[in-house]
């Protein structure tokens, strides 16, 4: 499989070809370079990071993984590269976990700040690029009605960020990258990194300005949040419902601290998405997915673990198991497990609040009727007051990654 970078970095290519830059040594014929998908430009060409250099490539008709290796076949202003596809070494994935686990946190702090800004006039004082990036993030978040249908749930999972790079590698992606949660986080991180380091007078009056990482005098500065207080989305550990962050009352005195906290929360959310990507193994039939949902006066997070079991002798397909967890304010923490081997379905639910458990129990008959209309048979349904006890605090992968 051959790809040919185009001339987005023509001067660098020309310098490398002429032997006048350090890139010449890195791009010798036969050299193996690490490549990863980082985005897509306006005309549909794939943006790749190859050996630390950002290049465009025309990959029409070619499906690429999010990370792979290439071998330099020819040099010149448009070199030819051979894609070397091989399973990602387990050590590489483990190194990725080591780098991201200390930085990750749940989505709640970032989503809480987003919800608070939507209700605060302080948002008008933020620089236009930051307001646009926050609006893009808000637009990437699904609504509860969206996940109420099979098609809507499929799209919400596709937009969760876990599948961003694989979708960018598709020649005809069904969903634009701008609708993806991880893509929106990457835009927000870039905008926050580009903000100057000092804050100019007049910002409070809406006249523009720049920012610093001050201590803040309002609630944000007075209540620093721990970074890794939410367990990471590891496939070998129990799901944990993520509650919303406490309501924030943002004032003009909090703007500096808010921007500084947005940097931290955005980096933590991106690390969490990438942990879920590292923990998703399509070959083994396991996917870890977290879907942010826009609720009433805030955002919730639907955490999913999807497992496809192998079919046994004489079985047309294996057992599908979907675990989920969510903690909206109106219901409290709810967890569940759905097992499907068509046409038979088993549903187990746990609810932290007694009234919620009773409400869910009352949905047994409507649920059974809905499934029957779809040709499914509900074999088992239970709803337990209380949450399941995790079988282990941390998986072996997490312990090894933190050692």
Each residue's pLDDT, cut to its tens digit, for the chain (403 residues) gives: 566 666 434 444 444 445 444 455 667 777 778 787 877 776 767 788 787 777 887 766 566 777 777 888 877 667 778 887 655 567 777 888 888 999 999 999 999 999 999 888 888 889 999 999 999 999 999 999 889 888 999 999 999 999 998 888 776 655 556 689 999 999 999 999 998 764 433 333 333 333 333 333 344 444 444 444 789 999 888 898 999 988 888 877 778 888 889 999 999 999 999 999 999 988 788 999 999 999 888 999 999 999 998 877 777 788 999 999 999 999 999 999 999 998 899 999 999 999 999 999 999 999 899 889 989 999 999 999 999 876 543 333 333 333 3
Residues 6+ apart with CB under 8 A from 396: 236
CA of residue 74 relative to chain centroid, distance: 36
Q: In what order do the strands lie in the sheet with 334-341?
A: 286-295, 298-308, 320-326, 334-341, 344-351, 377-385
Residue 46 and residue 9 in contact, taking contact as beta carbons nearer than 8 Å: no
What pLDDT sits at residue 160?
Answer: 95
CA of residue 140 relative to chain centroid, distance: 11
What pLDDT sits at residue 302?
Answer: 96
Burial class (CB in 10 A: 0-12, 13-18, 19+), 13: buried
**Residue 317 token pair:** 């397909």
- Per-residue H/E/C for the chain: CEECECHHHHHHHHHHHHCCCCHHHHCCCCCEEEEEEEEECCCCCEEEEECCEEEEECCCCCCCCCEEEEEEEECCCCCEEEEECCCCCHHHHHHHHHHHCCCCCCCHHHHHHHHHHHCCHHHHHCCHHHHHHHHHHHHCCECCCHHHCHHHHHHHHHCCCCCHHHHHCCCCCCCCHHHCHHHHHHHHHHHHHHCCCCCCCCCCCCCCCCCCCCCCCCHHHHCCCCCCCCCCCCCCCCCCCCECCCCCCCCHHHHHHHHHHHHHHHHHHHHHHHHHHHHCEHHHCEEEEEEEEEECCEEEEEEEEEEECCCCCCCCCCCEEEEEEEECCCCCCEEEEEEEECCEEEEEEEECCHHHHHHHHCCHHHHHHHHHHCCCEEEEEEEEECCCCCCCCCCHHHHHHHC
The alpha carbon dihedral of 263, 266, 268, 274 has a sign of: negative
What pLDDT sits at residue 16?
Answer: 47
What pLDDT sits at residue 93?
Answer: 79
- Neighbouring CB atoms inside 10 A of 70's CB total 26
Residue 258 and residue 250 in contact, taking contact as beta carbons nearer than 8 Å: yes
What pLDDT sits at residue 355?
Answer: 96
What pLDDT sits at residue 3?
Answer: 66
pTM over 0.75: no
What pLDDT sits at residue 277?
Answer: 94
CA pair distance 401, 403, nearest whole angstrom: 6
């Amino acid at each position: 499989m051959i790809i040919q970078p185009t001339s987005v970095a023509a001067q660098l290519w020309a310098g490398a070809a002429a032997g006048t830059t350090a890139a010449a040594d890195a791009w010798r014929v036969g050299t193996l370079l690490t490549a990863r998908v980082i985005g897509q430009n306006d005309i549909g060409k794939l943006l790749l990071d190859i050996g630390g250099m950002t290049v465009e490539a025309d990959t029409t008709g070619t499906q690429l993984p999010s990370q792979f290796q290439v071998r330099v076949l020819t040099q010149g202003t448009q070199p030819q590269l051979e894609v070397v596809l091989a399973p990602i070494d387990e050590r590489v994935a483990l190194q990725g976990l080591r780098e991201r686990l200390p930085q990750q946190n749940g989505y709640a702090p970032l989503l809480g700040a987003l919800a608070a800004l939507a209700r605060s006039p302080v948002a008008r004082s933020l620089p236009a690029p930051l307001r646009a990036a926050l609006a893009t993030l808000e637009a990437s978040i699904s609504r509860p009605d969206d996940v109420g249908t099979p098609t809507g749930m499929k799209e919400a999972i596709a937009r969760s960020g876990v599948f961003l790079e694989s979708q960018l590698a598709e020649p005809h992606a069904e969903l634009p990258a701008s609708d993806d949660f991880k893509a929106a986080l990457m835009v927000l991180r870039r905008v926050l990194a580009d903000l100057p380091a000092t804050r100019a007078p007049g910002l409070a009056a809406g006249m523009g300005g720049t920012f610093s990482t001050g201590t803040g005098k309002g609630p944000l500065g007075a209540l620093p949040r721990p970074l890794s207080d939410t367990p990471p989305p590891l496939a070998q550990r129990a799901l944990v419902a993520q509650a919303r962050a406490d309501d924030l009352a943002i004032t003009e005195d909090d703007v500096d601290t808010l921007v500084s906290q947005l940097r931290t929360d955005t980096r933590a959310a991106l690390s969490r998405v990438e942990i879920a990507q590292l923990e998703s193994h399509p070959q083994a039939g396991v996917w870890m997915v977290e879907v942010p949902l826009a609720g009433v006066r805030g955002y919730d997070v639907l955490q999913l673990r999807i497992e496809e079991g192998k079919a046994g002798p004489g079985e047309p397909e294996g057992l599908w198991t979907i675990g989920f967890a969510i903690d909206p304010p109106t219901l409290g923490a709810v967890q569940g497990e759905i097992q499907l081997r068509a046409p038979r379905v088993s549903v187990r639910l746990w609810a932290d609040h007694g009234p919620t458990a009773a409400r869910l129990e009352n949905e047994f008959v409507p649920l059974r009727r809905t499934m029957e209309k779809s040709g499914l048979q509900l074999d088992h349904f239970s709803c337990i007051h209380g949450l399941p006890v995790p079988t282990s605090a941390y998986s072996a992968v997490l312990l090894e990654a933190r050692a």
